[in-house]
Structure 1
Amino acid sequence: MLSRLRNDRRTTNNPPSVPGPLDHLLTSNNPPSYVEETLARNTIQALRDSLPALQLEIDNHASHPGSLTLEDRKATIIKDIAAHEAIISPWRKLPSDILRAIFQKTITLTPPWALSQVCRPWRTLIHSTPTLWSCITIDFNTKPTRHPSEENRLKQILQRSANKQSANTDLWIRSQEDRLKLVLQRSANADLHISIRGIMNQGDKRLSLLLILVAHSERWRYLHLELTLDTEAVTALQAVKGHLPRLSQLHLKFWKIKEPTIIELFSIAPRLETVIIDNVFRDVRVAIPVHQLSTYTCKSTPYVGSGLNNSLTAFSNLVHFECYWEHSVDPLAPRITFPRLKVLIIVFSFNVINPAGGFFDQLILPSISEIIVWGQADGVALPMLEMISRSQPCNLRTLSITSITLESTGDLASFLRLTPQLKFLRIPLSPNVDLSHLFTASDSPVLLPKLQSLHIVVSDFSLPSFSSLAPFIATHVEMPSSARFRLKTLQLNFLTEFACRTAYSAIQPLPAVGELDSDILALINSWKKRLVEDIPHLSRQLTPQKMFTNLTQHWHRLDQLFKTIEGYNIPTSGYLHVRDLFSIPNLTANLGADFEGLKITFRYALY
């Protein structure tokens, strides 16, 4: 026994003994052949089979000084097993084209610097795939930093590289310019996705990075630009005008507008199809080839001056249109037909009385499938009804209107009879409109046979109409399974807490509170108080900076509270008066379980 321990002690520090035929696989990620894989599996099994006897020997000599050597031997065997398991890993046999496809799906925003350092095969694959290097971001808000460990990391990259000349090109960490040039070199002739954002100061040396990118503008396919208009960056970008043959998507956001500005950088872009102008001031006008666009989104900047026809006549090929609108339209102007438009998202200003009616008076949308209307749209019902009527056949699938006034139930019925394909409907509850006929399963034809999701916006002034819905909601569990509609979701969006409380009271009877109910309510209120106290931003007792100081304590108290609530058995009781439970903003309460796919939820509107 002692002689064996001496032998083990002499060989402990030696490298693990591995079969010669597998040496090259233990030092690389190359895939094994069938024979090599079989040998690796047999080796793994043999090593595993040796562990029980070794463990028994360790247990029998636990107090012997040589037991440490046995433990080392066990650790070596376990290490050998792990090394051989790596040989038979499925990753080794994954075809390069599949691995490349995985990388292309997962790498979308930044160059794959880290992945290229995992192993030689991955590095070779990544370096030879230009599309993996096609996403480039320049952020002027982030200053380049230098960490002391970067020099050591650079040396490791050099040591792992088999080609010193190739490794020298990886000195991207020393220079931002060299790094960008290397990315452009590896991207070859691939389309580029460019993101440029931030605030540049006068004389910013990083302007050279932008100049390098501008020289490759012929390869720009997607451009996300967020800049101030009074910087050298905009001047540098002037060089791209007329040199954007591949540009198809454009996302713009500008700040600090001092005077009216016309941006003509993108007026010549033969493949431009999608334009998003986000948070642009009124004094900025972007010249774009509107006649070729399929998607146009203009956020937070209403159209000004020229009216609907002059603004939109040229957008004849639009498929998706989203904008803000606040101006009236000439009633004598000719109507505009958008033959391909499928999605219309329009926001009407609250500062102008009834701009919505004139907007829809001028439109013909034969292909429309989704209409979303936000803002002040009180006069939109009849004009939209007429627009849908003259745009027949109607294939509208989604209709969402957050503010609308309907005079009677007949107005709503007339409106919805023209939209039999609707699957999603979001509509405010009007004081004089009864929506209960949308749910009933009578012998009459169902108004919306394909409707799956209904969202009803309830405000204080529409509460009287809610009484017509309350009986259905209160007894929805008794709905016959033969009901001839496919409604899956009914969501009530309350604009105020008062509306939510009142509606809940209309659904659930509220008898006098008994003694037992009072005790339970007191317990529930104590839970609510503890919740508010342990969630700092609800109690508003702490500033955001101090909010996380005692976060662990808050988590512990909340965990204990939730365990108490989960373990509580509610005793037999009458109805509970629950109106006081609605004092926490944005409370969500589920009423009833799913039934035939129908789910009813109460929540406050988030807009």
Structure 2
Amino acid sequence: MTFVCERCGHRDYRSSFSFSQQGVFTASGGSDSSSPEQLRANLDQVKTTILRQKAYLDELEETRRRLESELAQIVYPALTLPPEIVSRIFVECLPGHGRVRPSPDAPPLSLAQICRHWREIAISSCELWASVDMDGFFSDGTGHEKELLQMWFARAKGRPLSVTIRSPNHGVPPSIMSLVSSVCERLHSLELDLSHEDFLLLEQHSVTFPRLRRLVIFHRHGPSDYDPLHIFQNAPALSELGLEAHSGLISDLYPMLTSIDLGSTTFNTVLDVLHQYPRLLQLTAHITDGLLPRNVAVSTAHHLESLILHNSSLRSFTLPDLCRLELHNDGFLTLLPFLVRSSCTLEHLRLPLYGDETELVDGFQAVPSLKSLSIDVPYGVDLALFVQVLDTDPLLLPQLRTLAIFAPYKQFNYLAFIQLLQAQCDHPGHPARLVSVQLNLYGDDDEGHYKDDWLSSSVIFEFNKLVEQGMTLQATYNDDEEVWPDGSMDPCETFPSSRKLLEIESFDISLFI
């Protein structure tokens, strides 16, 4: 007799017979019988039950084959793409800043965990493994750091490598420094934020860097007379150089140099570098010897396209090809004479909000080609002044698309800021409108500021309304300590990082194999 479950539909072919504890087949509700006739009857019923169970299993097997056949006919579009297209999509998933962190929660390792087909594509896509940022890498504690990096570099095959190393408190393991030295001929970009001891480990290896194009050096807690740049004397193709502080540059050391960040340096050093490197297109410097005397001669750099100056003045420069300018001390009073003297076309500008309404209007009228603008709001200055200037003439900056505001958290005028952004959305006839806005607030929690309330619910409501209208809007507190809207930032986005580096508790080596 067949029983069918009302809930799951399972069919039970078991008869009313069962085995007793002694293993004797008995009829339920009947007495034990050992007569030949009864035994034959029991045996027949057992054979019948076996046949029914076999029929049931055959039916299940047929159902399984049918379901598998139907699943095999389903086409998943993502799995039909050519491997070359999938590989290109994977590469586009890498962070835009170019520093790839070996984490199971981020590409490329996360992509290699989806399915076997995608894993094969990810492992064979050498471009995915050509960059590595060892943020938190040395907190692994499993002892597999060198082995994992060797696999990482091996998957990159012959591609130029981009490597970022940030020294933890206990230093970089010597085996890692040795491994980096072994691939020095493949290095395209190298960022080092190391202790003095780590640089000494790297110095022990006689290395050359024939393909190195970008080098950034931060020397932590070492003697002031030690210059780690001498380790990289054999880097003839170097074109981008970043230093924590000025080192003894040699005029013919890097003939291909086009970009340099001198860090803390003197103004005379800046002038020397402009003369030593005629190919220079980008220059960043933090002047340590104060503002310049008024009788300094004007220096002309015909090819310089980007200039970022801290604690210095534009009075001594003529830069006819300049298109990006960042000033952290001077306002429009020195900008206007510079623009008249240089006749340059600025597209990107950052400067403090100094001056009255007339000076700001005259300054913005002198840069009609501006596409991005960054404003530093000093203590005691209200952002409403900037808003008032733009409200006076909506066509003042016709090409402006990107705006960044840097301001102290305690005195920031949210009302004026929201008014400014709403005005950009409410002028459909404006030749251009803001597309991307970045608000950067900073403060000192010791003064009674608390990051938990840096954005009120009403401000967030207004921000969301602007985002719904198509504006890209992001707000940060103390660099990247707090971020709206997603509340987090990639710890590898900046170098060196001002925040605590992300610690990865453990690596699963199976992700690499």
- Shorter-chain TM-score tier: 0.5 to 0.7
Residues 187, 73 of structure 1: CA spacing in aligned structure 2 closer, same or farther, 3 A cutoff?
Answer: same
CA shift digits 1:189-240 (9 cap, x unpaired): 32122233325869x8x42343243133111112122221134x53434535
Q: Which residue of 2 aligns with 1:308?
A: 270
Q: Is the 8 A contact 2:246 2:264 kept in 1?
A: no
Residue 66 of structure 1 and its aligned partner are, at CA, apart by 4.6
Residue 317 of structure 1 and its aligned partner are, at CA, apart by 3.2
Q: Normalized against structure 1, the TM-score is what?
A: 0.52
- Counterpart of 1:210 in 2: which secondary structure? helix
Q: Which residue of 2 aligns with 1:294?
A: 258
Give the Cα–Cα distance (whole angstroms) in 1 for the partners of residues 384 and 129 of structure 2.
60
- Counterpart of 1:309 in 2: which secondary structure? helix
- Counterpart of 1:360 in 2: which secondary structure? coil
Q: Which residue of 1 aligns with 2:24?
A: none
Give the Cα–Cα distance (whole angstroms) in 2 for the partners of residues 113 and 488 of structure 1.
36
Q: Which residue of 2 aligns with 1:211?
A: 178
Residue 265 of structure 1 and its aligned partner are, at CA, apart by 1.7
The match for 2:398 among 446, 449, 453 is 449
Q: Is the 8 A contact 1:317 1:338 kept in 2?
A: no
Residue 244 of structure 1 and its aligned partner are, at CA, apart by 0.7
Residue 389 of structure 1 and its aligned partner are, at CA, apart by 1.2
The match for 1:418 among 360, 366, 377 is 366
- Do structure 1's residue 194 and structure 2's residue 163 form an aligned pair? yes
Which amino acid in 1 is paired with 2:226?
T
Residue 246 of structure 1 and its aligned partner are, at CA, apart by 0.5
Residue 400 of structure 1 and its aligned partner are, at CA, apart by 2.7
Q: Is the 8 A contact 2:360 2:389 kept in 1?
A: no
For residues 138-149 of structure 1, what are the structure 2 equivalents within 5 Å? Answer: 141-142=138-139, 144-145=141-142
Residues 420, 193 of structure 1: CA spacing in aligned structure 2 closer, same or farther, 3 A cutoff?
Answer: closer
Q: Which residue of 1 aligns with 2:341?
A: 390
Q: Is the 8 A contact 2:319 2:344 kept in 1?
A: no
The match for 1:345 among 287, 290, 308 is 308
Q: Which residue of 1 aligns with 2:222?
A: 257
- Counterpart of 2:197 in 1: which secondary structure? coil
Q: Is the 8 A contact 1:454 1:487 kept in 2?
A: no
Residues 112, 76 of structure 1: CA spacing in aligned structure 2 closer, same or farther, 3 A cutoff?
Answer: farther
Residue 386 of structure 1 and its aligned partner are, at CA, apart by 1.1
Deviates more, 1:285-294 or 1:221-230: 285-294
Alignment RMSD, CA only? 5.4
- Counterpart of 1:250 in 2: which secondary structure? strand
Residues 297, 458 of structure 1: CA spacing in aligned structure 2 closer, same or farther, 3 A cutoff?
Answer: closer
Which amino acid in 1 is paired with 2:234?
I
Give the Cα–Cα distance (whole angstroms) in 2 for the partners of residues 447 and 102 of structure 1.
41
Residues 450, 435 of structure 1: CA spacing in aligned structure 2 closer, same or farther, 3 A cutoff?
Answer: same
The match for 1:81 among 55, 64, 67 is 67
Give the Cα–Cα distance (whole angstroms) in 1 for the partners of residues 118 and 66 of structure 2.
24
- Unmatched 5+ residue regions in structure 2? 15-52, 95-99, 444-449, 480-513
Give the Cα–Cα distance (whole angstroms) in 1 for the partners of residues 269 and 158 of structure 2.
43
The match for 1:381 among 321, 324, 332 is 332
- Do structure 1's residue 247 and structure 2's residue 212 form an aligned pair? yes
The match for 2:235 among 261, 264, 269 is 269
Residues 95, 492 of structure 1: CA spacing in aligned structure 2 closer, same or farther, 3 A cutoff?
Answer: closer
Which amino acid in 2 is paired with 1:310?
D
CA shift digits 1:142-165 (9 cap, x unpaired): 35417xxxxxxxxxxxxxxxxxxx
Residue 347 of structure 1 and its aligned partner are, at CA, apart by 3.1
The match for 2:322 among 368, 374, 379 is 368
Residues 485, 237 of structure 1: CA spacing in aligned structure 2 closer, same or farther, 3 A cutoff?
Answer: same
For residues 197-596 of structure 1, what are the structure 2 equivalents within 5 Å? Answer: 197-199=166-168, 206-231=173-198, 234-239=200-205, 241=207, 243-263=208-228, 264-277=230-243, 280=244, 289=253, 292-298=256-262, 301-304=263-266, 306-327=268-289, 328-329=291-292, 331-348=294-311, 356=312, 359-374=313-328, 377=329, 379-394=330-345, 396-404=346-354, 406=355, 408-427=356-375, 428=377, 436=388, 438-440=390-392, 446-452=395-401, 486-488=432-434, 538=452, 584-587=453-456, 589=459
- Unmatched 5+ residue regions in structure 1? 6-56, 147-172, 349-355, 498-535, 539-583
Give the Cα–Cα distance (whole angstroms) in 2 for the partners of residues 382 and 400 of structure 1.
14
Residues 183, 604 of structure 1: CA spacing in aligned structure 2 closer, same or farther, 3 A cutoff?
Answer: closer
CA shift digits 1:580-600 (9 cap, x unpaired): xxxx444362669769x799x
Residues 383, 179 of structure 1: CA spacing in aligned structure 2 closer, same or farther, 3 A cutoff?
Answer: closer
Higher relative contact order, chain-length normalized (CA < 8 Å, sep 6+): 2
Give the Cα–Cα distance (whole angstroms) in 1 for the partners of residues 114 and 386 of structure 2.
64
Identity of aligned residues (%): 18
Which amino acid in 1 is paired with 2:369?
Q
CA shift digits 1:28-61 (9 cap, x unpaired): xxxxxxxxxxxxxxxxxxxxxxxxxxxxx76599
Residue 361 of structure 1 and its aligned partner are, at CA, apart by 0.9
